[in-house]
Chain A
Amino acid sequence: MDDQRTHIISALVLHKPGVLQRVAGLFTRRGFNIESITVGTSEQEDIARMTIIAKGDGKVLEQITKQLNKIIDVIKVRDLEPENTVKRELCLIKVHSPTEKVRAEVVQYVNIFRGRVIDVSPETLTIEMTGASDKIDALIDLVKGFGIKEIARTGPTAMSRGIKTI
């Protein structure tokens, strides 16, 4: 129970104003470490799905899920098992690429990582990359040398593999 590890918490919440504040406020208030939080619509109308990446030992995680469950607008909370979970993050990277040669090189890397170039200007290329967070880190590392103008990452969103739902 003492091992500090990263947890993927999936929560179904009522799609209402203030619900993100209720959840985020809880984390600050109780001193829980939160790495990222994503919110979006779910398969059900009026219900949003939140994916929270948080660090802590088993005891902390138990408190996080219990305290989340106490929020009236939170319907369901589940700690997803990492090995049985698909987890993806979206990242946009704007790379400084003033010459033909640099652009060709960047495009090559992007292809290897199965990313896409979604915007080109005389000075920049903007890459879209979806994948596991460590893959995104690796691509960022590779193109860093050319000069990165901007990065926007969503933080991971996740769900259980197979037929299981929460």
Chain B
Amino acid sequence: MRGGEALLKSLENQGVDVVFGYPGGQLLPLYDMIYDSDLKHILVRHEQCAAHAADGYARASGKVGVCIATSGPGATNLVTGIATAYMDSSPIVAIAGQVPTGLIGNDAFQEVDTIGMTMPITKHNFQPITSKEIPEMVKSAFYIAGTGRPGPVVLDLPKDVQEQELDFENDVKITLPGYKPTRKGHPLQIKRAASLIGSAKKPVILAGGGVIISNSSEELLKLSELVGAPVTTSLLGKGSFPEDHDLSLGMLGMHGRLPANFAVDKCDCLIAVGCRFSDRTTGKISEFAKNAKIVHIDIDPAEIGKNVDVDIPIVGDAKIILSNLIRAISQNKMSSKSMEWVNRVKNFKQTCIPKMSFDNMPLKPQQVIKEISEAVDDDTIMTTDVGQNQMWMAHYFTSRKPKTFLSSGGLGTMGFGFPAAIGAKVAMPESDVVAVCGDGGFLMVSQELATVKEYDIPVVICVLDNRYLGMVAQWQNLFYEKRLSHTHLGESPDFVKLAEAFGVAANRVERPGELREVLSSAINSGEPTLIDITIDPDEILPMVPPGCGLTEIVGEYKTESNNSEDVPYRETAKERAGD
């Protein structure tokens, strides 16, 4: 067997059913072997999208996603996708071609130091110098990517190694003496946390992406109901807790929901699960949850105390720790569940339900999100791009199930939404998949319309089209004296015609009430479809300016109970919170 075949056999042994890839010179041997194999290969139209698709596949399914690109420019194009997966702890294995071992270091054609380049953005990376190393490396790569705090692993595969003969063994052993992720939480820490949480009068839970990765949504719900702790989430935690639940506060942070930001400010005990306290989530650190004792549950010990000082850290798998915590609290009947706190939060929530219905033209994003919500079901996988579209979705869209809201949080990669949707649909063919993108981000990856057409991958792309790089423009409007430097995108392209050029069905929506119908029939058509939605470029989402505490919100907040559109958000919010 040759090295490339050993790679394919090893992938098969790992249960890989599909890869997203793009061939090239240094991968010719491997692709020649793929020609004869049963491996499903999806040819993307840009390597970056292979990585994003593998990432979307991983986030939607919980399995390791795989992408392949050639050496040099192929590998550099993967980099953004790998870094995106790294920041959001998404398990992918990225396979890159490399020049033959004899040429490494000679600045050969299409040579780049993939190992050096990807060191800071991977959990680990491997470069086999002989083919007999391949089986162990592949097995290690999948083990590392998929366990502990998941993340990307790169395999850098020189051309000659792909062709070199080896004796293949199926049950290869891996030795990783430096890799032993902690799964069980320390019992004493769990006990301490249980008594702190049990005696809290105003507890709040902050759920991050780790809850989704560890499949502990059920435990999260149980704990929340047991102790009467309202739940807010980070962006990546969206979907870990049903957002239509009484105890749901919605997303926290710079673009967080009002009740979430205020509850965290007021709480006396914050239980943070599987989150890393990013600056976008916490706002000014010294103001963050300043009245609270903090319990931090995370599988990565390096996240403990990195951004926020915590009182009780528990390192391990969220699912195991949460179940032990629930057991400890209920056995000792420790919970002094305070209905007063729960009711106060509920009442506050009632006073600031965001206003979603607008009959304006061009369409208000709130109206757009409302109609999207009405057209999709609980199992629909929503992906977002990055910018206003993402924050509108995060703020206004109601997620009810884990792994149904996929978004590039940490790296904030424009162009993520569409290819991630492709990966999600390939992973979960039974689920509907809708990508909500801005016009800027979508244009960065629009060539993938060819991919969805060729492979008939029926994702629906909603392009929220305001002809602006909306989030940057929003900051320019708020903090740079409305000097809109290079954020207007102009009138090109016509997205409907663009889609049609690829043979992809397309619609334009301009009026309130149209989108629901158009989106429903697009989903039901079973064909890839683009919907170009003309929206109001002037709508600004209330936000916490960088460097401010979570309650120092600027911008107007339109609520159901108060229809006056020019009520300053900040004053009324503080009033309502009972300050």
A14 proximity list for chain B (CB < 8 A):
177-178
| A66 partner, pick from B115, B176, B179, B302, beta carbons under 8 A | B302
Shortest Cβ distance from residue A165 to the other chain B in the assembled complex, whole angstroms: 16
B184 interface residue per 8 A CB criterion: no
- DSSP class of A's interface residues: helix, strand, loop or mixed? helix
In A1-43, the 8 Å CB interface with B consists of 13-14, 18, 21-22, 25, 29
Query: Among A69-77, A78-86, A144-152, which stretch is in contact with chain B?
Result: A69-77
Encode B300-344 as 1/0 by CB contact (under 8 A) with A: 111011100000000000000000000000000000000000000
In B434-468, the 8 Å CB interface with A consists of none
Contact A66 B301 (CB under 8 A): yes
A: number of interface residues (CB 8 Å): 20
Bound: A14/B126 CA distance, A: 14
A105 proximity list for chain B (CB < 8 A):
none
Contact A29 B120 (CB under 8 A): yes
Encode B70-82 as 1/0 by CB contact (under 8 A) with A: 0000000000000
| A75 partner, pick from B178, B300, B304, B305, beta carbons under 8 A | B178
Contact A71 B178 (CB under 8 A): yes
Encode B168-180 as 1/0 by CB contact (under 8 A) with A: 0000000011110
B304 proximity list for chain A (CB < 8 A):
66
B179 proximity list for chain A (CB < 8 A):
72
User: Which residue from chain B places its CB closest to the CB of A47 in the assembled complex?
Assistant: B177
Contact A18 B120 (CB under 8 A): no
A123 proximity list for chain B (CB < 8 A):
none
B115 proximity list for chain A (CB < 8 A):
18
Contact B124 A72 (CB under 8 A): yes
Shortest Cβ distance from residue B128 to the other chain A in the assembled complex, whole angstroms: 12
A137 interface residue per 8 A CB criterion: no
Encode B117-130 as 1/0 by CB contact (under 8 A) with A: 00110011000000
| CB within 8 Å for A72 and B116 given contacts A14-B177, A14-B178 | no
Encode A39-82 as 1/0 by CB contact (under 8 A) with B: 00000000000000000000100110011011111111000000
Shortest Cβ distance from residue B120 to the other chain A in the assembled complex, whole angstroms: 5
Instruction: Report B's interface with A, CB cutoff 8 A.
Output: 115-116, 119-120, 123-124, 144, 176-179, 300-302, 304-306
Instruction: Report A's interface with B, CB cutoff 8 A.
Output: 13-14, 18, 21-22, 25, 29, 59, 62-63, 66-67, 69-76
6 further interface pairs, Cβ-Cβ under 8 Å (given A22-B119, A25-B120, A62-B305): A14-B178, A18-B115, A63-B305, A66-B301, A66-B304, A72-B176
